[in-house]
Amino acid sequence: MKAIFRSLLASALFATTAFTALGQSAPAAAAPVAPTDTTPITLDASLVKAVSTQSFAEFRAAVQPLVKQMACKKVVALGEGTHGTAEFYKLRFWLTRILMEEHGFSQVAFENDYTDTYLLNEGLRQPNAAVEPLMKAHLYSIWQNQETAELLNWVQTHNRTHRRKVQVRGIDAAYVLPEARELSALAVRYPKSGLQELTAQLTKHALLQDSIWDNINKKGFKVPRRRWLDGGLEGYYTAEKIQKALSTARLPRKQRQLAEGFALDAKMAFDLFYQFTVNKRDTSRDSLMAEMTKFLVRDNDAKVIVWAHDAHVSRKIAMAEDPGNGGGTGAFLERMFPGQYFVLGTSTATGTFAATTDGHITRSSPMASYPLEVPLAGSWEASLSSVSAPVFYLSTQQLGPQNLRRPLRFVGYGPGSGPDSYSNFKLTEAFDALLFVRQTTAATPLR
């Protein structure tokens, strides 16, 4: 399976000779799934809850039992079986709107850089700000589509007319300059905080990190591997020092909380280099994203909706090549918030999806439409496509004897959707519920 689970930089680092030079063996690629039983699973009709997608009102009426299960949770994850399916974005927007308008959720968190998304949210607070330029400046290209713009336009409109504001957040880490600059600005604004020297050091390391990331997909670009490793490790230690310094820094409460989020984001972005050099292993991107989600709901009454790939929000890790990861982000969140985590997966059988041929996703990776390959015989997608309803959801806990371990497809940001995109799962190992759309279309790029 494609390495969609890894940190955004890890696949680049582990593909280099530097990995072997440091005394490690590169992780083995996951083998294609070969199911032992290709007999289709015939679902009991009572398990299938048909959904209308013709209008928001019809959709809202159809999903009320599903929403009722979500409403009492602290963290609700809405997964995506591909990073580029229009229907997955649209239906998750509608679910997010229901949870925010009717059930007290005030944050939606993307699989996107934390500080970059903070800056996006700050931009959306300006009533007349154009949404699309903000998206291009602050979101990975997987989010730069008209369907995500619908959500963000709704957020902007909602906040104009409601006292209780909703916010867009991020739980991932890749770029480091945004947080370095925000921390530096706080240090300048509050000189008695004593953070100027540390934030200057962080900015130096962030400049190297982000310059590499911005150029890593360019043909002929040579990564300065030793400088990258050394600078990344120093960046990690600097972010850690900033975290410790914040406990006594002379900052107002609100600014301290902002700084804590920026420093955590920076440390997450540099965690790869610490794990690689000190612990001789890959970073656990899932545990880092769970940690950032925990940071978002640190207040007792805070609730968050997470938008991320099925492979991350799943309770079980989707990749055999990193068995020490401890589960998907969902497994970490369940341990952090026992009984307070709900995860909805989304899946499809046929159609098109948006993807990029860039080896490493960035803000500028070009997205194009690709056809989905025919589902693998014996897979969940093959069985679910035979249900008469074109769009439906089911509760995995009600599957009973039909909860068989079969291949489940996880398509990343690359164009591949064939046999090596599957892992064997019982649906209960991954999700509380699954929303299935038989035929889907590629997300629509921004203009």
Rounded CA-CA distance 405/35 in Å is 9
Range name among 39-48, 113-122, 164-173, 361-370 with the lowest pLDDT average: 39-48
Tokens 């038989």 belong to 438
Average pLDDT over residues 375-380: 95
Angstrom distance (rounded) from CA 276 to CA 313: 24
Tens digit of pLDDT for each residue in 203-249? 999 999 999 999 999 999 999 999 999 999 999 999 999 999 999 99
Between the alpha carbon of residue 414 and those of residues 83, 175, 230, 366, 411, the distances in Å are 9, 20, 30, 11, 7
% of the chain residues with pLDDT over 90: 83
User: Whole-angstrom Cα distance, residue 167 to residue 172?
Assistant: 16
In this structure, are residues 31 and 14 in contact, taking their beta carbons and an 8 Å threshold?
A: no
Average pLDDT over residues 17-32: 34
Taking 70 as the threshold, does the pLDDT of residue 321 lie above it? no
pLDDT reported for residue 40:
83
* 287 pLDDT more than 50: yes
Query: How far is CA 250 from its chain centroid?
Result: 34
The DSSP code for 218 is S
Task: Confirm if 297 and 290 have CB atoms less than 8 A apart.
Answer: no
Q: Is the pLDDT of residue 17 over 60?
A: no
- In whole angstroms, what is the distance from residue 389 CA to residue 47 CA? 12
* E strands in 95-213: 107-113, 167-172
Structure token digits, residue 137 = 């400046």
Q: By three-state DSSP, how is residue 371 classified? A: strand
First to last CA, the chain: 32
Taking residues 46-62, report their average pLDDT: 96
pLDDT band at 322 (very low <50, low <70, confident <90, very high): low
Q: What is the pLDDT of residue 349?
A: 98
Query: What is the pLDDT averaged over residues 406-421?
Result: 94
Above 80 in pLDDT, residue 200? yes
Where residue 120 falls among pLDDT bands split at 50, 70, 90?
very high
Percent of the chain with pLDDT over 70: 90
CA distances from 447 to 12, 135, 363 (A): 30, 12, 15
Q: Is the pLDDT of residue 22 over 90?
A: no
Q: What is the DSSP string of 251-289?
A: --HHHHHHHHHHHHHHHHHHHHHHIIIIISS---HHHHH
Place of tokens 């300059």: 177
Least confident of 7-21, 280-294, 358-372: 7-21
Q: Which of 167, 170, 156, 159 is nearest to 105 (CA)?
A: 167
CA distance 117 to 135: 9
CB atoms within 10 A of CB 318: 24
Polymer length in residues for the chain:
447
Residue 7: what pLDDT? Answer: 56
Where b means 16+ CB within 10 Å and e means fewer, 374-413 reads ebbebbbbbbbbebeeebbbbbbeebeebbbebbbbbbbb
Per-residue pLDDT band for 2 (boundaries 50, 70, 90) equals very low
CB-based burial label for 60 (10 Å; 0-12, 13-18, 19+): middle
Domain range summary for the chain, segments of one domain joined by +: 45-170+298-440, 176-285
Show the tokens assigned to 141.
């290209």
Which position has the higher pLDDT, 167 or 15?
A: 167
Tokens 């909703």 belong to which residue?
Answer: 166
Does domain 45-170+298-440 bear CATH number 3.40.50.10580?
no
Q: Would you call 368 helix, strand, or coil by DSSP?
A: strand
In angstroms, the CA 424 to CA 358 distance is 27
Residue 407 main-chain phi, psi, to 5 deg? -65, 135
DSSP 3-state assignment of 350? strand
Nearest Cα to 85, choosing from 343, 371, 406? 371
Query: What local confidence, expressed as pLDDT, does residue 19 receive?
Result: 31
pTM: 0.93
pLDDT exceeds cutoff 60 at 358: yes
Per-residue confidence (pLDDT) for residue 20, from 0 to 100: 30
Q: What is the mean pLDDT of the chain?
A: 91
C-alpha 294, offset from chain centre: 14
Q: What share of the chain is helix, strand, coil (3-state, %, to 5)?
A: 50, 15, 35
Backbone angles phi, psi at 397, to 5 degrees: -70, -15
